[in-house]
Structure 1
């Protein structure tokens, strides 16, 4: 039967009082250098009950007996100094006025011994109880990943918890390994598996809110593979006291927000297309590109070529891949540049004898591409043409274009640019003898850069509000890991010219997703029904080019593949002459520097393009949209 809080306090007080006679005896031993100082003990034993009474009053008034063992530190130790000092002063006064022949040094020794005994007893009791807890099944054993301010605050908070106990820190800073912080040992992140062996830890808390979601997801996946349950702690939770910090723990992986089971098997099929091959991934530093790199490494290619226009993204991707490469023996090559640079792309393909190209490089943020039509189309569409033709000329075996559900009846320029890119790849597939061209199309990826998950998390961490464009907006979602794995599988199935559509499940209302994330973080939604809630949801209105609902394909008919989550469809495409004319017109429009000219070419080529939410100040764009509104996709 467990003791109540008052019962525990009473036991601690009783123990503290028994320290007084023990301390008195030890102080006499030290003062008179005798193992059994019988004569001084008989002469001065009358002091002991009085000192016990004084100690009891001091401890109760200060409240030391109510300090829990896990909280005995800092201020509590200073208070123990005061009790010991009161005990020593009282002993000296009683000896003086009682005409007791005790040396002055005895009272100082008494105070010091009592302090040492008190602190040592508390630490011994805490250590004993900790060992008992570690062998029991009534507490959750956790490790904290991150030794920064958030990690230290969480470690302090967990000292107050009866059912969660922290056993160690994890940190990627090698200089921290072997240190002890807040009484907890620090292990390197790569040695996380040791925590199960040493402490039987079953949960790891990522206390690094400033870490990018990509890195958090990567860590969570790696730790999950080791058998740990992983949670994260939002930065906003640090401003709460008491148990609130612990209550803000939330699932670390975006997959937990999906209302369906994610893909759980590893990349154990489809690897034959990539094993021992030289694989180039464009946009390798982006969310999808980087996950494709991680997944492709499990297939053990001979060489992995990371191609990206961002030096920082390329540096980050290379650093991570080299760690993985050391374990699987894959050569890592970095190529900095633009996919629209024809000479550079051709040289890279030839120099590294590329067998497979996974094309994930694209400008993907709808509002940014909408405001920069010429640059967006030049990269997403013309860049794809340059890369795909160079791959064909170099004799690349497989070329996989990573596309988007926004390419279906596109309502914005980003989607139209991706559909234009699809048309380019489909055209090359019809007359390519050596290269198998294919397209993989899927919806939004949970947790990718710029997506709603990082945005909502950041807003929740700041305390809100969480902003939505429209309560009724729905989107298809898939985790980065699942999407990347299925892209590789679909690419291995390709025979040429297919559009593979991934099974994204049912579309999710963004408003529902926002509420789930707020509640998963331990907060409540503040609205008319709950005016005292924590975080408000604000609707800002649909942005230019944004649709309420997305689609995944034009055609109703589809064919199954060897994987239940991959569907093969045949989309309409332009003739060789039409495609050549469209590319020539797009190049001329891009070179003219006119966004309007670029949009006009896109509207003529991507006949399903129907701009959404155009402002009144864009008459030329509106005229183009109006002129092509009646066009329907050719079957």
Structure 2
């Protein structure tokens, strides 16, 4: 029986419309004949040209109504209640047309015939559509894996509808903790309490649980994710409201849980006034705009509608990607921001100065840097060139172009650094502090934060890849801890600090308690529906956790501040610290020596200069 249905679905769209319209015309004629026969109690009756004219007008008006209501644009296999509503509306118009045509043409159309015709037409026009859709659904749902949906609100309802219509998953149950919703039927699915999970899991054997709740507070969501992580099933979610609103995703797209759900704490809420202060209606430039931090800075900046956003990036492909993404966001939020995509290196001072001058840049966010500890450790000269001299070139360009605000994205690894990358970022901070002392026209700010979840080089994408490949998940040390924040948090902190800065300040975020990397790995394993194993602890599970040992230059614990002179700011979660500084004359001498060592490819001299400078640098490369 399904072969004709499959043949119908496989034919061209044009042919489907012709077949459907032909069937509808025949069904309308048959409905009119049956209605007249039932009214006259006779299957054989005579009709005049007046009745024929009434019937032709009725058929034409009905088909025209179907066309206008989009019935022939709808995909037959996805016919649901909205389409049936359109059918009923068209048939009501058809019945009215039949009655009016009988009056105007003086044809023999008894008053009860339009009523009888309406009921029959609904059966003949709507019935086959429901039947075909039901057959298709029951045939194809057997090919789709079962899933549970958590959340019986509007998001869960829309997700269920999207999955039923789609070809990827078959929703079988909706779970919710609200007693008022338990027992309801939503899109044909019964709502069960989450306490029934084990019984329902053994019955339906779902492959994953889809979290469909977007309208709760971040604290509630964290508690919910903690609860779901204990269930023996992979957990995924629908995109966030922000991603849907900006066009980055659609509701029907299923994705891994938001990285923020892995953090274990509610992210810091931004001050919207501070976010807008140095951006709205201003020309803004972001260096390293295609990187993980730089690209998120651009996303946050574009939402505040600057007059112009200059994307400065060395990697052409990354620049192309962020340019395309930002143009989509601009279209979705109806902004008038001009996007300028510029290729180039931050080490080219003249290139940057011309860009800043040509576009009257007022605010610069300097995110361009080499940041992967082992890579910089093995490429000392390039690390110093890019992180120190690149920052110097960008800052000098900003001064010459009369840029008002220049903000450096720094790192917690700049605090008492044990690797060249951290030392280079701390030296970059000192360069800006010395420049802040040398002049007063450009405000220089440094923003220091911890590890960013989801950035390139972050443990989160690495752990995901390792878990999907069946393990092992590699952790350097069982006790290693890190401060964590989200990429949007980091970007918002940078923007807010820039708005509240006095030149030469170092800002840090109150990031709460550090997170053990081992706990993060276990949490990710559980949320991906598996259990961890640990040979050393005798734990047998799906994914092995293997300890590989600390890498050269890697700390067991991270720090965010130097010294004890810490002060609060107007933002409850942002602090500032006064630290050791160098005068510009001292800095100029150091930079000259460092430049000469780089030119001579003398890595030992570079390391010695870093050790002799008040960076707090401890060379652990040999450990």
TM-score interval, smaller chain: 0.5 to 0.7
Structure 2 equivalent of residue 163 of structure 1: 174
Shift, 1:269, TM fit: 3.2
Structure 1 equivalent of residue 347 of structure 2: 340
Query: Pick from 300, 315, 321: which aligns with 1:295?
Result: 300
Equivalent residues of 1:254, 1:447 under 8 A apart:
yes
Per-residue deviation, residues 56-80 of structure 1 (Å, max 9, x unmatched): xxxxxxxxxxxxxx9xxxxxxxxxx
Q: Are residues 523 and 555 of structure 1, via their aligned partners in 2, closer, same or farther at CA, if it must alter by over 3 Å?
A: same
Q: Are residues 229 and 524 of structure 1, via their aligned partners in 2, closer, same or farther at CA, if it must alter by over 3 Å?
A: farther
Equivalent residues of 1:546, 1:613 under 8 A apart:
no
Q: Supply the distance in 2 between the matched residues of 1:394 and 1:514 (Cα, whole angstroms).
A: 47
Q: Are residues 152 and 310 of structure 1, via their aligned partners in 2, closer, same or farther at CA, if it must alter by over 3 Å?
A: farther
Are positions 1:318 and 2:323 aligned together? yes
Structure 2 equivalent of residue 223 of structure 1: 244
Per-residue deviation, residues 457-492 of structure 1 (Å, max 9, x unmatched): 111111111001111111100001111111100100
Q: Supply the distance in 1 between the matched residues of 2:161 and 2:590 (Cα, whole angstroms).
A: 53
Structure 1 equivalent of residue 497 of structure 2: 490
Q: Supply the distance in 2 between the matched residues of 1:270 and 1:138 (Cα, whole angstroms).
A: 32
Q: Are residues 376 and 218 of structure 1, via their aligned partners in 2, closer, same or farther at CA, if it must alter by over 3 Å?
A: farther
Q: Are residues 355 and 157 of structure 1, via their aligned partners in 2, closer, same or farther at CA, if it must alter by over 3 Å?
A: closer
Shift, 1:350, TM fit: 1.5
Are positions 1:258 and 2:263 aligned together? yes
Query: Pick from 547, 550, 560: which aligns with 1:552?
Result: 560
Shift, 1:217, TM fit: 11
Query: Pick from 449, 455, 461: which aligns with 2:456?
Result: 449
Shift, 1:498, TM fit: 0.6
Are positions 1:593 and 2:604 aligned together? no
Shift, 1:315, TM fit: 0.7
Match of 1:328, SS state, is: coil
Are positions 1:382 and 2:389 aligned together? yes
Q: Which runs of 5+ in 2 are unaligned?
A: 1-36, 38-76, 78-127, 142-147, 176-185, 189-213, 215-236
Per-residue deviation, residues 410-448 of structure 1 (Å, max 9, x unmatched): 000100000010000000011212111111111111111
Per-residue deviation, residues 42-94 of structure 1 (Å, max 9, x unmatched): xxxxxxxxxxxxxxxxxxxxxxxxxxxx9xxxxxxxxxxxxxxxxxxxxxxxx
Q: Segments of 4+ in structure 1 off by > 6 A?
A: 116-119, 124-127, 151-154, 164-167, 216-220, 228-233
Q: Supply the distance in 1 between the matched residues of 2:445 and 2:556 (Cα, whole angstroms).
A: 28
Structure 2 equivalent of residue 437 of structure 1: 444
Q: Supply the distance in 1 between the matched residues of 2:593 and 2:620 (Cα, whole angstroms).
A: 24
Structure 2 equivalent of residue 478 of structure 1: 485
Query: Pick from 380, 396, 416: which aligns with 2:403?
Result: 396
Shift, 1:542, TM fit: 0.6
Please give the residue correspondences for 1:28-427 in structure 2 after superposition, counting only pairs within 5 Å: 123=135, 140-141=156-157, 143=159, 155-158=167-170, 161-163=172-174, 221-223=242-244, 250-251=256-257, 253-265=258-270, 267-326=272-331, 327-427=334-434
Structure 2 equivalent of residue 511 of structure 1: 518
Equivalent residues of 1:276, 1:301 under 8 A apart:
yes
Q: Supply the distance in 1 between the matched residues of 2:173 and 2:160 (Cα, whole angstroms).
A: 17
Shift, 1:509, TM fit: 0.7
Q: Supply the distance in 1 between the matched residues of 2:129 and 2:567 (Cα, whole angstroms).
A: 78
Which of 421-430 and 343-352 deviates more?
Answer: 343-352
Shift, 1:532, TM fit: 3.9
Equivalent residues of 1:366, 1:545 under 8 A apart:
yes
Structure 1 equivalent of residue 203 of structure 2: none
Shift, 1:394, TM fit: 1.5
Q: Supply the distance in 2 between the matched residues of 1:505 and 1:218 (Cα, whole angstroms).
A: 27
TM-score (normalised: structure 1): 0.62
Equivalent residues of 1:274, 1:301 under 8 A apart:
yes
Paired residues in the alignment total: 429
Q: Are residues 138 and 436 of structure 1, via their aligned partners in 2, closer, same or farther at CA, if it must alter by over 3 Å?
A: closer
Structure 2 equivalent of residue 89 of structure 1: none
Q: Are residues 137 and 331 of structure 1, via their aligned partners in 2, closer, same or farther at CA, if it must alter by over 3 Å?
A: closer
Q: Are residues 153 and 534 of structure 1, via their aligned partners in 2, closer, same or farther at CA, if it must alter by over 3 Å?
A: farther
Q: Supply the distance in 2 between the matched residues of 1:337 and 1:117 (Cα, whole angstroms).
A: 59
Q: Supply the distance in 2 between the matched residues of 1:275 and 1:118 (Cα, whole angstroms).
A: 53
TM-score (normalised: structure 2): 0.63
Structure 1 equivalent of residue 8 of structure 2: none
Equivalent residues of 1:364, 1:414 under 8 A apart:
yes
Match of 1:430, SS state, is: helix
Per-residue deviation, residues 340-388 of structure 1 (Å, max 9, x unmatched): 0122122111111111111010000000000100000100001111111
Equivalent residues of 1:372, 1:595 under 8 A apart:
no
Per-residue deviation, residues 18-42 of structure 1 (Å, max 9, x unmatched): xxxxxxxxxxxxxxxxx9xxxxxxx
Please give the residue correspondences for 1:506-585 in structure 2 after superposition, counting only pairs within 5 Å: 506-528=513-535, 531-585=539-593
Equivalent residues of 1:420, 1:606 under 8 A apart:
no
Match of 1:269, SS state, is: helix
Q: Which runs of 5+ in 1 are unaligned?
A: 1-34, 36-69, 71-115, 168-192, 194-215, 234-248, 616-635
Match of 1:483, SS state, is: helix
Per-residue deviation, residues 302-345 of structure 1 (Å, max 9, x unmatched): 11000011111111111111222342110110110100012212
Match of 1:339, SS state, is: coil
